[in-house]
């Protein structure tokens, strides 16, 4: 029986994938590195610590990682976060989960203040039982740490009693390594094929489509 739903946030509940990609492109340009928007967009869904691997020389990454990430975080909060909007029916979906007697948890690789901001944007702060952020995990997605932290907040529930909802193959990979099943949504821009190949057991267009089909989805309580 499914007793909890663990949600990724960026690209799943809030339309921020393009915003994050643009912020990273602008940040790296500031530090002298040109990265194509399309290449950066394909990386969104990983945490910042994982995004930078392979994009910057290892010695520079070791020396300036904190400076780069701090610049990106400040830029995103000032210039991009105010443009973020929730996808349709997110609050209605969380209300349905509450009515079904299930618990809703957020599992984000973002900074804690970003996650708090997203709760307000999506108008779900009163419906979220708990949330994780980059502060709760040593490694970000596609490593399983974030979802393992979410499961700890749901204790004593087991992984068999929860399902993840995410928009990227990185969500599905991380969830799988935490022993969790994943339902995918296409709202983050990845294809259904990419999500299923990563392990998603079902795929929906967006949160509204998931709500419409909740009773027949893997998230249904029984």
Q: Where do the structural domains in the chain lie, given as residue ranges? A: 4-15+85-216, 17-83
Chain centroid to CA 177: 16
User: Looking at beta carbons, which pairs linking 26-30 to residues 24 or more positions away fall under 8 Å?
Assistant: 26/75, 27/68, 27/71, 27/72, 27/75, 28/55, 28/56, 28/68, 30/71
Tokens of 36: 């194509």
* Euclidean distance between CA atoms 81 and 217, whole angstroms: 31
- Report yes or no on whether pTM surpasses 0.85: yes
Name the nearest CA neighbour of 37 among 53, 61, 19: 19
Superfamily of domain 4-15+85-216: HAD superfamily/HAD-like (3.40.50.1000)
Q: Is residue 48's pLDDT more than 80? A: no
Instruction: Identify the pLDDT of residue 197.
Output: 98
Lowest mean pLDDT: which of 91-105, 136-150, 173-187? 136-150
Instruction: Identify the pLDDT of residue 52.
Output: 84
Q: Is 18 exposed, middle or buried (0-12, 13-18, 19+ CB in 10 A)?
A: middle
Q: Is residue 54's pLDDT more than 80? A: no
Say what the alpha-carbon torsion angle 47, 97, 90, 187 is, to the nearest 10 degrees. 50
CA distances to 10, 110, 130 from 47, in Å: 11, 7, 19
CATH architecture of 17-83: Orthogonal Bundle (1.10)
């Amino acid at each position: 029986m499914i007793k909890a739903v663990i949600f990724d946030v960026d690209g799943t509940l809030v339309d921020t994938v393009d915003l994050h990609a643009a912020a990273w492109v602008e940040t790296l340009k500031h530090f002298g590195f040109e990265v194509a928007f399309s290449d950066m967009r394909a990386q969104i869904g990983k945490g910042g610590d994982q995004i930078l691997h392979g994009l910057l020389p290892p010695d520079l990454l070791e020396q300036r990682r904190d400076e780069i990430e701090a610049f990106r975080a400040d830029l995103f909060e000032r210039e991009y976060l105010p443009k973020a909007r929730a996808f349709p029916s997110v609050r209605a979906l969380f209300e349905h989960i509450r009515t079904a007697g299930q618990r809703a948890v957020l599992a984000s690789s973002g900074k804690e203040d970003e996650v708090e901001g997203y709760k307000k944007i999506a108008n779900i702060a009163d419906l979220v039982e708990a949330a994780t952020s980059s502060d709760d995990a040593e490694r970000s997605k596609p490593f399983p740490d974030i979802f393992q932290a979410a499961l700890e907040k749901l204790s004593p529930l087991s992984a068999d009693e929860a399902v993840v909802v995410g928009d990227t193959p990185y969500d599905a990979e991380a969830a799988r390594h935490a022993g969790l099943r994943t339902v995918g949504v296409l709202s983050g821009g990845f294809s259904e094929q990419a999500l299923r190949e990563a392990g998603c057991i079902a795929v929906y267009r967006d949160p509204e489509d998931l709500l419409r089909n909740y009773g027949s989805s893997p998230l249904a309580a029984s």
